[in-house]
Amino acid sequence: MAYLVFVRHGQSEWNALGLWTGWGNPSLSEGGRAEARKAAEYLQDIPLHKAYTSKLKRAQETLHEIKQALDNVTLDTTEHEALNERNYGDYTAKNKWEIKEQLGEEEFNKLRRNWNHPLPNGETLKDVHARALPYYEKNILEDLKAGKNVIVAAHGNSLRALMKHLEEVS
């Protein structure tokens, strides 16, 4: 049986400020780097054969910290935009808590967690699912079927979309 490990990136510089990051490309904060190294502690006993990450720095830096902590810096790694975070469109780089105040809690929660609630010039979770799932099935799943232990370092929404599929959430 192969292992599939999902790791959400550590805290980014924008996360620390309460900003919607989406397709923005900030680096990890020092706290985020420490979170990644802590995640590696849980993976010490799992030999990893393949890694996947998004095209965004915070996920790549998280994976790099994990690989260094596991002394596995040469781990075969593929970066792909299908694993990128949800595009928050017009909300990118805006303060989440100010937006919550402007929209109200109900609308804010729809914006963040609803399956198909539109964002101005952005993506829904349904859109993220539509790009992440085919990539998973064509690439990651094939590695798992071949018996490889795989780590995916990505983002809350791209991982949530894959979990929806894997756990058969309606």
What pLDDT sits at residue 117?
A: 95
Q: How far apart are CA 123 and CA 65, in angstroms?
A: 29
- 149: amino acid identity, one letter: N
CB 93 within 8 A of CB 62: no
Is the pTM higher than 0.75? Answer: yes
| CATH code assigned at 10 | 3.40.50.1240
101 is catalytic: no
DSSP string computed for 91-155: GTTSBHHHHHHHH-HHHHHHHHH-SS---TTS--HHHHHHHHHHHIIIIIHHHHHTT--EEEEE-
Q: What is the pLDDT of residues 95-146, one digit of tens each?
A: 999 999 999 999 999 999 999 999 999 999 999 999 999 999 999 999 999 9
Q: Are 4 and 150 in contact (CB under 8 A)?
A: yes
Residue 85 designated active-site: yes
Q: How many domains does the chain have?
A: 1
Q: Which of 9, 49, 64, 155 is catalytic?
A: 9
Q: Which two tokens stand for residue 90?
A: 């017009």
Q: Which of 35, 85, 123, 129 is catalytic?
A: 85
Contacts (Cβ under 8 Å, ≥6 apart) of 170: none
Q: What is the side-by-side strand order in the sheet with 77-79?
A: 4-8, 150-154, 50-53, 77-79
**Where in the sequence is the domain holding 116, given as residue range(s)?**
4-166
Q: pLDDT, tens digit, for every residue of 39-94?
A: 999 999 999 999 999 999 999 999 999 999 999 999 999 999 999 999 999 999 99
**Are the C-beta atoms of residues 154 and 4 closer than 8 Å to each other?**
no
